[in-house]
Amino acid sequence: MHIAFALAAALAIAVVVGRKVQKDRRRLLWDRAAGHRREHPLPVDSYTDIDELVRNARCHCGDKLWKRSESGLDQGLHVVVTECDTCEKVRKLYFDASGVPQ
Ligand SMILES: [Zn+2]
């Protein structure tokens, strides 16, 4: 009986640790992708491209992001603040719109 309990506890711990490792990995991949950090904005040719990219953007949990607000920053940098439908995390997407004709 004690062995069954120990195995069940070890399995539960392995599941929790496995989920944490997966979550950390997804977050790391998210942070490395273009457009997810101010220092590494995603270049765009038009503001329509920004709308389309935001519509197709996914949170690191896998669900869709929806646009809360957007604004232009200095030197053509454009930031869109989004929120995930599932985990409700607020994520910023950065775009380099310096090549967009005014
Ligand atoms: Zn999410």
pLDDT digit string (tens) for the chain, length 102 residues:
788 878 888 888 788 888 888 888 877 777 788 888 999 999 999 989 999 999 999 888 889 999 999 998 888 999 999 999 899 999 999 999 998 887
Tell me the CA–centroid distance for residue 67 and ligand 1, in Å: 13
Residue 57 lies in a domain: yes
Tell me the CA–centroid distance for residue 87 and ligand 1, in Å: 4
Tell me the CA–centroid distance for residue 8 and ligand 1, in Å: 30
Residue 20 lies in a domain: yes
Residue 102 lies in a domain: no
In the prediction, which pLDDT does 40 show?
92
Domain count, the chain: 1
For 10, the 3-state DSSP assignment is helix
For 70, the 3-state DSSP assignment is strand
Provide φ and ψ at 22, rounded to 5°: -65, -45
Contacts of 49 (CB under 8 A, 6+ apart): 95
pTM summary value: 0.73
Cβ neighbours of 46 (radius 10 Å): 12
Tell me the CA–centroid distance for residue 73 and ligand 1, in Å: 25
Tell me the CA–centroid distance for residue 99 and ligand 1, in Å: 31
In the prediction, which pLDDT does 9 show?
81
Residue 101 lies in a domain: no
In the prediction, which pLDDT does 31 show?
77
Q: For residue 37, what are the β-bridge partners? A: 40
Range of the domain at 54: 2-96
Residue 30 lies in a domain: yes
